[in-house]
């Protein structure tokens, strides 16, 4: 695979941008190669600056559930471009976007749009502190909520109900909120157990703490109604990002009316954004959400394709565990279950690095980190899945282990 132009660009980028990238994982550091620089994308494919074509299972880290450059989103954006890109003033688009999200996710009675997932969780946490008049935040090892520093936190083990009960027995009266990814995608894919989430809901209610679901990744991904609809749990606040922007930068946080009414200008919690709710991002997001709402078969097909990929990989790789919820999936090179950060960290990350590098050379673009999710999109065809499985076989040894390449 020729990456000459990408290598040249990376060298140049490193002089100008820290590490040559605008988000760390893109540097491919974990797998020890230089990143391909992407020039364009269409459907299930991305193309780099050297003209290499890849079947993309990163999907811009989640937003591209409909595939790249979706014609409906492109057309809507074209129309909006004629009308201007940002006004810094209220728009009908914002009302419609808030309407569709609150309709699909009933726990969200009011919503505020921001520009990234990081901003959404940061704002939700501040709001939770203000509402409860408490300071402490419980979060879970291996969950990611953006790059802001969350102070005054207690870090608990994911899926450890007894651990969380002990934390609440000790500090329950000071805990403002528990925040978590209801299906974690940031230690690789690790789903929460139903019993764990049921207990979290009950215990936060008992102690008067809020429960925040960070559905930046899972929202409109694992099901139309997100993880909260899969698990049938109503969090107090929910954070969104990724899919709700249809490929443009968007985040949002929302939840119970009584809590959201504390946000400025209605209430004392000041939160603002120059480009929040900007019409281009709202147009892309709204179009994506409408397509997803009006075509429920998309989720059925995503499940089918992802299941087929999972089953194929399970048959062919002897030494891996595959965690999957809907169209989010991870391959862990371990023979033991992966259910929290500790167990995720125990898997063979060097093997994953080798796997990822070999697959990239075969034209399959996977997340260049063990601790990220593969995303299957509506634009992936059965042939794409077959190609993945075929390339997977080509790099495996006869025993189902990996050849040292």
Ligand X SMILES: Cc1ncc(COP(=O)(O)O)c(C=O)c1O
207 is catalytic: no
Which candidate, 63, 43, 96, places its Cα nearest to that of 248? 63
Min separation Cβ 218 and ligand X, Å: 7
Active-site residue (options: 242, 305, 357, 391): 242
Min separation Cβ 215 and ligand X, Å: 7
**Which of residues 3 and 65 has its CB atom nearest to ligand X in the complex?**
65
3-state SS class at 252? strand
Nearest residue to ligand X by CB is 117
Active-site residue (options: 48, 214, 236, 384): 214
Contact 392, 313 (CB under 8 A): yes
**Which of residues 184 and 392 has its CB atom nearest to ligand X in the complex?**
184
Cis peptide before 265 (omega within 30 of 0): yes
**Which of residues 36 and 142 has its CB atom nearest to ligand X in the complex?**
142
Active-site residue (options: 54, 56, 131, 144): 144
Min separation Cβ 400 and ligand X, Å: 31
- Residues 107 and 253: their CA atoms lie apart, in Å, by 11
- Residues 239 and 325: their CA atoms lie apart, in Å, by 19
Both tokens of residue 139? Answer: 């979060």
- Residues 392 and 354: their CA atoms lie apart, in Å, by 12
144 is catalytic: yes
> How far apart, in Å, are the Cα atoms of 398 and each of 189, 315, 349?
27, 13, 21
40 is catalytic: no
Helix (H) or strand (E) holding 166, with range, is helix 161-171
Min separation Cβ 395 and ligand X, Å: 28
DSSP string, 169-181: HHHGGGEEEEEE-
**Which of residues 52 and 369 has its CB atom nearest to ligand X in the complex?**
369
**Which of residues 61 and 299 has its CB atom nearest to ligand X in the complex?**
61
- Residues 376 and 385: their CA atoms lie apart, in Å, by 9
Min separation Cβ 146 and ligand X, Å: 4
Residues that bind ligand X in the complex, under the rule CB under 6 A: 61, 116-118, 121, 144-146, 181, 185-186, 214, 216-217, 241, 251
Sorted by sequence, the CB contacts under 8 Å of residue 73 that are 6+ apart come out as: 66, 246, 247, 284, 287, 288
Q: Which residue numbers are catalytic? A: 144, 214, 242
């Amino acid at each position: 695979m020729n990456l000459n132009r990408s290598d040249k660009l990376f060298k140049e980028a490193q002089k100008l941008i820290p590490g040559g990238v605008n988000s760390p994982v893109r540097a491919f550091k974990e797998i020890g190669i230089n990143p391909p620089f992407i020039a364009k994308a269409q459907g299930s494919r991305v193309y780099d600056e050297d003209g290499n074509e890849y079947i993309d299972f990163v999907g811009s880290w989640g937003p591209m559930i409909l595939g790249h450059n979706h014609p409906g989103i492109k057309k809507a954006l074209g129309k909006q471009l004629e009308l201007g890109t940002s006004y810094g003033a209220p728009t009908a688009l914002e009302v419609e976007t808030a309407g569709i999200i609150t309709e699909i996710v009933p726990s969200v009675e009011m919503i505020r749009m921001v520009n990234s997932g990081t901003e959404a969780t940061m704002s939700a946490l501040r709001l939770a502190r203000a509402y409860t008049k408490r300071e402490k935040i419980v979060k879970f090892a291996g969950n990611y909520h953006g790059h802001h520093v969350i102070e005054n936190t207690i870090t608990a083990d994911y899926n450890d109900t007894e651990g969380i009960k002990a934390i609440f027995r000790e500090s329950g009266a000071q805990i403002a909120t528990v925040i978590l990814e209801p299906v974690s995608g940031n230690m690789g894919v690790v789903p929460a157990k139903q019993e764990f989430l049921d207990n979290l809901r009950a215990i936060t209610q008992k102690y008067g703490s809020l429960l925040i679901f960070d559905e930046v990744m899972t929202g409109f991904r694992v099901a139309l109604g997100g993880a909260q609809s899969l698990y049938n749990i109503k969090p107090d606040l929910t954070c969104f990002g990724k899919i709700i922007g249809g490929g443009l930068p968007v985040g949002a946080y929302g939840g119970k009316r009584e809590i959201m009414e504390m946000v400025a200008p209605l209430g004392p919690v000041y939160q603002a954004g120059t480009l929040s709710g900007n019409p281009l991002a709202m147009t892309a997001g709204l179009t994506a959400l409408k397509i997803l709402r009006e075509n429920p078969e998309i989720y059925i097909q995503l499940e089918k394709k992802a299941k087929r990929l999972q089953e194929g990989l399970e048959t062919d790789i002897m030494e891996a565990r595959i965690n999957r919820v809907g169209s989010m999936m991870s391959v862990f090179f371990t023979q033991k279950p992966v259910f929290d950060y500790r167990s995720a960290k125990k898997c063979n990350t060097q093997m994953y690095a080798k796997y990822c590098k070999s697959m990239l050379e075969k034209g399959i673009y996977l997340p260049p980190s063990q601790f990220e999710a593969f995303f299957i999109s509506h634009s992936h065809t059965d042939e794409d899945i077959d190609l993945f499985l075929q390339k997977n076989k080509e790099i495996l040894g006869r025993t189902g282990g990996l050849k040292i390449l």
